[in-house]
Amino acid sequence: MTPTAMLPRTRVKICGLTSPEDALQAVDCGADGIGLVFYGRSARAVTAAQAHKISQAMPVFVSRVGLFVNPTEGEVRAVLQQVHLDCLQFHGEESAEFCASFAVPYMKAIRVRPELDVLKEISKYSTSSAILLDSYDKHFAGGTGSAFDWRIARHCVEEAGVKIVLAGGLSAANVAEAIRLVAPYAVDVSSGVESEPGLKSRERMSSFFNEVYSV
């Protein structure tokens, strides 16, 4: 008897967590990874001390991802000295050489906009563990709560040859549709599961995961 083929499971990262309590709730709901924001202009920013407490509370097999936006080398290394991170997420204009210089797996975020050749941009980061595609806003580096044209993401999944993480405007209302259309390796959500910036809603996270699992 031939085994029934199973579709790959879509992984989920909850980003912008600011407390151990919210992080543990995210894990209880099913999060594969948590995102800690080290960018002072974000409403979801945490200090290294806060991040250390959150990281320490995480159970085995949950990835801790640190998000940076155009940091200096010293800023990244200072965080790494205090916080256990499994992956670095770079959300600015960092070069591939810079991203790969910390001996920690990294994910490069690319903010999709009409004039950008996304596949060409992805090709610059051949050392990345994954590419995160997010919405572009000239005023914000991420967490905009708005979506971009998912057909671009689907094209990248088909042509880029790397793991694609879909972000930007995801919520329980649209994540199932996004997964069906894009078939990403993972989805990344922040504002779509919040009661207010930096505070996650257990109810909204639960609803989000229910939709992910429905696909």
Whether the pLDDT of residue 1 is over 60: the answer is no
Angstrom distance (rounded) from CA 24 to CA 21: 5
Q: Which of 29, 87, 134, 188 is catalytic?
A: 134
Q: What does DSSP assign to residue 135?
A: E
CA dihedral 213, 7, 130, 155 (to 10 degrees): -100
pLDDT tens by residue, 82-121: 999 999 999 999 999 999 999 999 999 999 998 899 999 9
Whether the pLDDT of residue 14 is over 90: the answer is yes
Angstrom distance (rounded) from CA 92 to CA 62: 25
Mean pLDDT, residues 25-51: 97
134 is catalytic: yes
The pLDDT score that the predictor gives to residue 137 is: 76
Specify which residues 134 forms β-bridges with. Answer: 111
The pLDDT score that the predictor gives to residue 75 is: 98
Mean pLDDT, residues 38-48: 96
Q: Which residue type sits at 61?
A: F
Mean pLDDT, residues 60-65: 98
The pLDDT score that the predictor gives to residue 5 is: 55
Mean pLDDT, residues 58-69: 98
Specify which residues 75 forms β-bridges with. Answer: none
Angstrom distance (rounded) from CA 149 to CA 135: 9
Regarding beta strands 194-196 and 199-200, do their DSSP bridges make them parallel or antiparallel, or are they unpaired?
A: antiparallel
Q: Which of 15, 29, 87, 156 is catalytic?
A: 15
Angstrom distance (rounded) from CA 96 to CA 171: 30
The pLDDT score that the predictor gives to residue 74 is: 98
pLDDT tens by residue, 155-182: 999 999 999 999 999 999 999 999 999 9
The pLDDT score that the predictor gives to residue 150 is: 96
Average pLDDT, the chain: 94
Whether the pLDDT of residue 130 is over 60: the answer is yes
Superfamily of domain 11-213: Aldolase class I (3.20.20.70)
Angstrom distance (rounded) from CA 155 to CA 171: 22
Whether the pLDDT of residue 4 is over 90: the answer is no
Residue 32: closest CA among 196, 212, 192, 162: 212
Task: Please tell me the least confidently modeled range out of 18-22, 115-119, 146-150.
Answer: 146-150
CA dihedral 141, 160, 211, 206 (to 10 degrees): -50
The residues, ordered by sequence, that sit 6+ positions from 167 with a Cβ below 8 Å of its Cβ are: 15, 109, 132, 133, 134, 135, 142, 187, 188, 189, 190
Asked if 54 and 20 touch (Cβ cutoff 8 Å), the reply is yes
Where do the domains of the chain lie?
Answer: 11-213
87 is catalytic: no
